[in-house]
Chains A and B, each alone.
Chain A
Amino acid sequence: MVDGAVLRITDLTKEYGSLRAVDQISFSVGPGEIVGLLGPNGAGKTTTINMILGILKPTGGSIEILDRNLAEFRSEISKSINFAAVYAHMPANLTVRQNLYVFGLLYEIKNLKEKIHLLLEEFDLTVFANTRAGLLSSGELSRLNLAKAVINQPRLLLLDEPTASLDPSISQLVRAKMKRYADHTRAGILWTSHNMNEIQAVCDNVLFLSRGKVLLSGNPRSLPAEHGKKDLEELFITVAREPLRLKE
């Protein structure tokens, strides 16, 4: 565990009846650190993120963000966190500017109009400011999601497959932007992706989830060799297909 961690998860568990979607996982994210949350579909990544966002109640364990317990201080804490995910839609029938305005009010941003102007420029959205979100391409929509995700300058940023459906050029820009954000603001970032090259490029640490448990964790650049695999992708495939064998 990291001292002064932005996010500290302890024995986090989520049960749906007899199914344990997340099974006593523990990890932390430090300031300026980017942690990759990896695993096959259904491993528990999104469930974990939803619990950190406070939109899903854990069955057990604790979530501390900036040294405060999420269960007790959810409303205060949520001002310091934000997220972007492909499955979390922005209101499609509002324009880009209207979307940012509504979310700016929700996060009680000061000098909102100026902030929106800066975000539109930073995420190359100025030309689409008056375009409805539903008419944007997936790349433009991802940039809008990211602009919304940093509107409150979060200390903890959750990115669930932020580059899914983006072309390699835009993906690379998004990675660079987010890495710069973590460096400049010392925000912690929890990043999920199925693109192992991306994880290797941006993450300081990774956690492999399998069937709701943390199976492996470590530096994404050295972890494959530690387990006799040639790269992160091969390690991922083993985790997905033969998690028990890897454990042994």
Chain B
Amino acid sequence: MRLSRICAIFLRQLFLFKSNPTRLTSMFVWLIIDIIQWGFISKYLASLGQATFSFITVILGAVILWGFMTRIQQGIMMAFLEDVWTQNFINFFASPLRIREYLSGLVLTSMVTSLAGLLVVVAIAGLGFGYNILRVGTLLLPFMLILLVFGIAMGIFVSAMIFRLGPSAEWLGWPIPLVLSLFAGVYFPISTLPVLLGAFSKLIPPSYVFESMRTILTTGTFSGDLLSNLLVGGLLAVTYLFLTSRFFISIYRKNLQSGSIARFNAEAF
């Protein structure tokens, strides 16, 4: 793996932002709208009942962290789609660029843009609604790491599906976070789900994050169970990352056999 080639893929995406600032819309605007809307909803809910926890912290925290994971997944997908739409694969893959370097470049792009987005929304949530992301304490770091790794895995998975099925498979990438959010316990505890669906949640790394986060924020305690939960979530996320990376590389090799790389465009499928 050569850093200069990873940087080339990263720079190629960065140049797009520089040449067309409207692309920043996708980075910030939706997240900001989400935060403002959920901020007011949380404020309203807090004014209704006598909850033992802060709606702002629980709901806005969930929205921010889930938005971060979603941005990571969609960031990878969008960077990949950019190359699909502009039909750059021949020039890229005929160069010394290796598939792992290409993938790393996409991941780096998505991480940088998502972290920038996260900083902005945390600042808005803090200034507008008094939200403090650090209330979760040092566990915030493993929480975010699990979401980051799983977001990358999902981004690679969707890109692999597009690589396999063609550009029209783009639609797969958009509803995935929405579907996963049902099982990840982002907005409600997993115990709310029917037993069968709850069992499915055990396979989704973010469910460990959001369950743990809710426990900390509602009880204010850190139990040993939390750490083992995070360990399971982390291991699952790493496993998904490994599997989806292998999947993407196997699709690339298949495309080398079939000639799809040379004629990868909408008409080819």
Contacts and interface: CB of A to CB of B under 8 A. Distances in A.
Interface in B132-182: none
A235 B2 CA distance: 48
A116 interface: no
B129 to A, nearest CB: 37
Given A108-B2, A148-B91, A78 B96 contact: yes
B259 interface: yes
Most buried by A among B4, B8, B19, B91: B91
A83 B259 CA distance: 17
Interface in A46-96: 46-47, 50, 53-57, 75-76, 78-79, 81-83, 85, 87-95
Interface residues of A, number: 36
Interface in B211-269: 256-259, 261-262
A107 B97 CA distance: 8
Interface in A101-158: 101-103, 105-108, 132, 148
B1 to A, nearest CB: 11
A98 interface: yes
Contacts of A50: 90, 259, 262
Given A50-B262, A78-B94, A106-B97, A94 B19 contact: yes
B37 interface: no
Contacts, number: 95
Contact of B86 (A85, A93, A108): A93
B91 A108 contact: no
Nearest to B98: A75
Given A88-B90, A91-B86, A55 B262 contact: yes
B193 interface: no
Contacts of B98: 75
A93 B95 contact: no
B88 interface: yes
Given A78-B96, A148-B91, A56 B8 contact: no
B261 A106 contact: no
A89 B86 contact: yes
B94 A53 contact: yes
Contacts of B7: 105
B12 A91 contact: yes
B16 to A, nearest CB: 6
A57 B91 contact: no
A153 B121 CA distance: 47
B40 interface: no
A76 B261 CA distance: 20
A89 B4 contact: no
B90 A94 contact: no
Contacts of A81: 94
Interface of A is mostly: mixed
Contacts of A92: 86
Contact of A93 (B4, B19, B258): B19
A75 B97 CA distance: 7
Contact of A16 (B97, B259, B261): B259
B3 to A, nearest CB: 10
B11 A102 contact: yes
A75 B96 contact: yes
Contacts of A88: 87, 90-91, 94
A83 B262 contact: no
B256 A55 contact: yes
B15 A94 contact: yes
B11 A108 contact: no
Given A56-B256, A56-B262, A106 B16 contact: no
B96 A79 contact: yes
Contacts of A83: 94
A103 B95 contact: yes
Contacts of B15: 94-95, 98, 102
Contacts of A78: 94-96
Contact of B88 (A16, A91, A105): A91
B192 interface: no
Contact of A55 (B86, B87, B94): B94
Interface of B: 2, 4-5, 7-8, 11-12, 15-16, 19-20, 83, 86-98, 256-259, 261-262
Interface of A: 16, 46-47, 50, 53-57, 75-76, 78-79, 81-83, 85, 87-95, 98, 101-103, 105-108, 132, 148
A-B CB proximity, top 6 nearest: A105-B8, A53-B94, A88-B90, A106-B95, A78-B96, A98-B15
Given A83-B94, A98-B19, 19 more contacts: A50-B90, A53-B90, A55-B261, A57-B257, A75-B98, A76-B96, A78-B94, A87-B90, A88-B87, A88-B90, A88-B91, A89-B87, A92-B86, A94-B15, A98-B12, A101-B11, A105-B5, A105-B8, A106-B97
